[in-house]
Chain A
Amino acid sequence: MIKDTGSLRVRVRPTYLPLYKQLLKSRQIRQHSEFFTTCCFLPGPSERVDMGNITELCQANSFTDYQLTALSSLGYKKSQRILEPNELFEMMEKEADAGMTFLITELWHDLVNLNQDEDVTLIPGQEFEAQVRLIKFVQGKLEEVPF
């Protein structure tokens, strides 16, 4: 496991940042790392798009051990080797971006607002509904694959 992430920063697309902040403010998540991790495991567009000038979301050391294990596993699965922290988070930023794109274009398409700067937010008051939809989606996914 990544023992030392140092002062490594985790970044997201600037237009997605308001949505992270909204979820934190409405107490649907306790830390940005939670939602970032979730996004990494959501299905996303097969073609990764350019995220542009990505902006800092949080520090890598705010991720819990379990979150780091989950992310490292995903990194291992994709590269077949244990990645260094910077490599890992660079990859995960793309995964989280794709996951978020899936959320706002598919699962939450009728719950989100886009402003003139294309900043994405949830329609005020719809935060819990978004949470429930996400949980139901996860539950569906878990039931889909028998282990």
Chain B
Amino acid sequence: MIITQLTMHHFRQFYGTQTIEFAHDGDEMVTVILGENGRGKTGLYRAVMYALFGDRTLEQDAKGKGVLLANSRALKEDEAGQHRGIESSVRIRFRHADKDYELHRSQLSRQQANGKVHEEASELILIDHTDGSRITKKEEVERFIHDLLDERVKHYFFFDGERIERLTRVDEDQKEEVATGIRNLLKIDQVLKSRDVLGHMLKATSKQLEKHSTGDYKKALQKRNSLQEQIEEAKNEQARINKEQTALAVRIQEIDNRLEELSQVSVAIRQRRELEKEKEGVSKGYAEAQQALTALHSTIGLLMARDVLYEVKKQLDFYLGENRLEETMTASGLQELIHDLTCICGRAFDEDSEEYRRLQSLYRSVKSQESNQAYYEMKAEVMQLIGYLEGKESELSERLSDLKSYETRLESLNYQIEQLNQQVTGSSEQSIQELGEEREAVVTRKAQHEVEFRRLEEEWTELENELAKVDLQLKDLKVKSGLHQQLLTKEEKLKESVDVMDRAINGFEQDVIQDLELATSENLAYLLDDSGRQNLQDVKVEQDYSLEVYNAFNQPFLANISQGQRQVLSLSFITALAQVAGGNKALEMPLFMDTPFGRLSTDHQENLMNFIPQIASQWILLVTDREYDETVKRKFESSGVVGRFYRLESTEPGVTTIEAGEVLNHD
């Protein structure tokens, strides 16, 4: 398949109808599409994946987040206008096996009252422009595309550069799918299918033979067929257990990784618990300190009055003098004594006497005191209040200091707890316990499976021994029977064919794997920079088509290589696949890469730009200006492989236009 044209209508950022013509002929087979982030490079990648495979989301999309494929501006215009909904479509023109095809996929979208957009698949049509025929049945179109490129390995040809390195670490549960996809791509699956057909024919012939036989021969045949069925059943069961074992092993690994993370945080969890306990106490103390301080409010107004009180006392002292208040006699009592000319002790005196003068003096003094009574009282109260306030200032300071120390401790505890929270985010003791329990259950189940696996192996080995005996018996009986010679010969030939096929398939797959290893290693050596080349020596392709890379000391090294090197390794494998699948000529399949150079060093990028055009039939590159500046552009275009150049320009928020750019003439 070679893509010649991509047309989008109201799809993602591409408002209206916009088309890209791809370079595909001869040496100029590279199309470069340049766009800054957010301009729609991934929109183009989406368009291709949507048209070919109906993918509405990509791997990089957040799980559960719907991606709106319809153009937002067109939707808004429709909402403001007739509100009938809009059609978004992607049309791909491609060439395959000398025929010209057009694939058209569309959907209808409408903005609903609640603001959500309802999107619904509309048309899927495949047109063969060579003879004008059309396929409109979804299943048939999908089958056609599947024959072009197995969906299971689509990401080996249409990929997002940021995620390409993931191909070197496919999940265990996806490995089998990917391996089937690769076998399909390498056409090994067709040989496997032939073997299966022969197997079915052999089974049918055996049944027929059984039907037409009699006596001991029939019995032996029945026994053989039953044994074969039992062996197949046991092997199938074993395969099922094996698959489950792989899944269990993956789960154990996941649990172990998680537990390891959790064990690192379990110390933090313990510390956090201790700090939280301490915080509880400190918070309680802080609340009490708050209350104690608040209780002092009745005093603070009085404390503020302190200097006024001292000042007033001073003034009153000055005004009243140092005389103490005479409390023994009142002025009226003294006046009575003076009037009666009688002393306090009862003795009489006259007006010229000393006693009379003294009583007169005392009377004047007491009379003066009585007129200043209020001032005396005020002075007493002021002094009393000053006395009350003694010590209150230090109490206030103490309480404030208490509060401050609680506050400081609380702040420090909160900071420490926050730090620990960040360490233990997403983990909990409960999950440690649950994971521990789950691990125990998984390990127990795995052990049971191992026992069952061995039992089944013993069972089918025993059955196969028995089958060999029955086969011998059958041989003997066959000579004696002389019956159904034709059927017997047919069965024998089929059996031989299946055996030969099995050997051939194994041999062929081994050869293909070896070719893949060789090509991947060569490509890797070409693409790596000097230091990478020295460090990474060899690539091994496993039976499940997963990769391992070996260092100079022939040690497995995949786990230690950088992200950039992983990306280069993936690209080496992908290009090797294209080479091996293509045989003598380049595989007719585009390499469609979204931002492939992001993590690559300059050396890696240059090597890749020199290498890919040599082995691929079409290369479509979506790049940012950081990956593809003017210098890189000039250099790449001067090599003569770039046929088309486009720039994605944003004309308004959410709307991108595709503008064709000039490609430098390398002559």
Contacts and interface: CB of A to CB of B under 8 A. Distances in A.
B300 interface: yes
Contacts of A37: 301-302, 305
Contacts of B311: 77
Interface in B183-200: none
B310 interface: yes
Interface in A52-77: 64-67, 69-70, 72-74, 76-77
Given A1-B377, A66-B385, A74 B308 contact: yes
Given A70-B308, A73-B382, A138-B396, A132 B302 contact: no
A49 interface: no
Interface string B420-440: 000000000000000000000
Interface in B285-306: 290, 293-294, 296-298, 300-306
A136 interface: yes
Contacts of A109: none
Given A38-B304, A82-B378, A135-B400, A128 B290 contact: yes
B506 to A, nearest CB: 77
Interface in A1-58: 1, 27-31, 34-35, 37-42
Contacts of B303: 138, 142
B388 interface: yes
Contacts of A65: 381
Nearest to B383: A69
A82 B294 contact: no
Nearest to A31: B298
Contacts of B290: 128
Contacts of A40: 301
Contacts of B147: none
A30 B298 contact: yes
Contacts of A28: 294, 297
B312 interface: yes
B302 A67 contact: yes
Interface residues of A, number: 39
B221 to A, nearest CB: 91
B554 interface: no
Contacts of B396: 135, 138-139, 142
Contact of A35 (B301, B312, B384): B301
Given A28-B297, A29-B297, A73-B382, A145 B307 contact: yes
Which bracket fits the contact residues of B?
20 to 34
A147 B381 contact: no
B309 interface: yes
A84 to B, nearest CB: 11
Contacts of B625: none
B479 interface: no
B233 interface: no
A67 B301 contact: yes
Contacts of B315: 76-77, 80
B403 interface: yes
A104 interface: no
Contact of B297 (A38, A41, A142): A38
A138 B300 contact: yes
A30 B301 CA distance: 13
Contacts of B312: 73, 76-77
A42 B304 contact: yes
A135 B305 contact: no
A126 interface: no
Highest count of chain A CB atoms <10 Å: which of B302, B309, B377, B403: B302
A132 B311 CA distance: 28
B381 A41 contact: no
Contacts of B381: 1, 65, 69, 72
B406 to A, nearest CB: 12
A73 B305 contact: yes
A86 interface: no
Contacts of A105: none
Contact of A135 (B293, B309, B310, B375): B293
B301 A131 contact: no
Nearest to A1: B381
Interface in A83-140: 128, 131-132, 134-136, 138-139
Highest count of chain A CB atoms <10 Å: which of B302, B305, B375, B382: B305
Highest count of chain B CB atoms <10 Å: which of A35, A70, A136: A70
A34 B308 contact: no
A139 B397 contact: yes
A76 B382 CA distance: 11
Contacts of A72: 378, 381
Contact of B300 (A38, A73, A145): A38
Contacts of A141: 304
A147 B308 CA distance: 12
B301 A132 contact: no
A27 B301 contact: no
Contacts of A147: 306-307, 310
Contacts of B466: none
A40 B374 CA distance: 23
Which 7 pairs of residues, A with B, have the shortest CB-CB distance? A38-B301, A41-B304, A37-B301, A70-B305, A73-B312, A69-B381, A69-B385
14 contacts: A30-B297, A34-B297, A37-B305, A38-B304, A64-B298, A69-B378, A73-B305, A74-B305, A76-B378, A77-B312, A132-B403, A138-B300, A141-B304, A142-B396
Interface of B: 290, 293-294, 296-298, 300-312, 315, 374-375, 377-378, 381-382, 384-385, 388, 393, 396-397, 400, 403
Given A30-B297, A67-B301, A77-B312, 6 more contacts: A35-B297, A38-B300, A73-B378, A74-B305, A135-B300, A141-B304
